[in-house]
């Protein structure tokens, strides 16, 4: 099954390579990996999705923790979470098809961000299924170009996976608990 990990790492050169290399070395295939800044300059946050069974997921978590630059790992697969992917889709929209394409965009709540005589470019945010759904109905019109960011995820509700918790002494304790639970 697809597992979603939220990984806080030190914002240092080479950390992305260390994480990516770990998955390669341990023979797991990354489905999606995104990385970006957080509210703390010295911490970056990754969202990694990977196909793994229960035991494999625990080993991935434990191995991530072995990387010295990894601060906190959370497997939020079974948690209620908001999962978002962003896509930009350039679709052929000739005179006759244009209104149909615009209609589909509005049904999926995609925003048109660029218009050219023979094409439209739209931006859509949502979970992966929603984007896949839009792609499916646009395909007959001719998709000229497409790019997706990969997913970012955040736990629902008030329980924070905040960076403040993820660094400093409090976090170490929390992380220890997580490691023990995973054993």
Question: Can you give the binding site for other proteins, defined by CB under 8 A?
Answer: 8-10, 13-14, 17-18, 21, 25, 55, 58-59, 62-63, 65-72, 167-168, 171-172, 175-176, 179-180, 182-183
Least separation in angstroms between residue 3's CB and other proteins is: 16
Comparison of 64 and 87: residue with beta carbon closer to other proteins: 64
H-run or E-run covering 122: strand 119-126
Comparison of 137 and 179: residue with beta carbon closer to other proteins: 179
Comparison of 67 and 112: residue with beta carbon closer to other proteins: 67
Least separation in angstroms between residue 71's CB and other proteins is: 4
Comparison of 44 and 47: residue with beta carbon closer to other proteins: 44
H-run or E-run covering 107: helix 98-107
Least separation in angstroms between residue 21's CB and other proteins is: 6
Q: How far apart are CA 2 and CA 71, in angstroms?
A: 23
Tokens of 153: 């995820």
CA distances for 34 relative to 85, 105, 141, angstroms: 10, 25, 30
Comparison of 140 and 168: residue with beta carbon closer to other proteins: 168
Query: What values do phi and psi take at 156, rounded to 5?
Result: -75, 165
Least separation in angstroms between residue 50's CB and other proteins is: 15
> How many CB atoms sit inside 10 A of residue 12's CB?
11
Strand order in the sheet with 43-51: 30-37, 43-51, 2-10, 70-75
Local structure of residue 142 (DSSP, 8 states): -
Least separation in angstroms between residue 58's CB and other proteins is: 7
> How far does Cα 134 stand from its chain's mean position?
18
Q: Do 9 and 46 form a contact (C-beta atoms < 8 A)?
A: yes
């Amino acid at each position: 099954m697809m597992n979603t990990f939220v990984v806080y790492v030190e914002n240092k050169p080479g950390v992305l390579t260390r994480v990516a290399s770990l998955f390669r070395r341990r023979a797991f295939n990354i489905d999606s990996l995104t990385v970006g800044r957080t509210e703390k300059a010295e911490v970056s946050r990754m969202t990694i999705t990977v196909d793994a069974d229960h035991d494999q997921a625990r080993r991935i978590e434990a191995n991530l923790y072995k990387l010295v630059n990894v601060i906190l790992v959370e497997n939020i697969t079974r948690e209620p979470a908001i999962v978002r992917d962003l896509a930009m889709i350039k679709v052929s929209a000739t005179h006759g098809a244009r209104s149909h394409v615009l209609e589909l965009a509005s049904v999926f709540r995609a925003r048109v961000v660029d218009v050219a005589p023979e094409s439209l470019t739209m931006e859509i945010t949502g979970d992966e299924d929603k984007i896949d759904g839009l792609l499916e109905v646009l395909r007959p019109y001719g998709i000229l170009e497409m790019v997706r960011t990969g997913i970012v995820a955040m736990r629902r509700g008030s329980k924070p996976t905040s960076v403040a918790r993820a660094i400093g002494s409090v976090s170490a304790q929390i992380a220890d608990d997580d490691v023990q639970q995973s054993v």
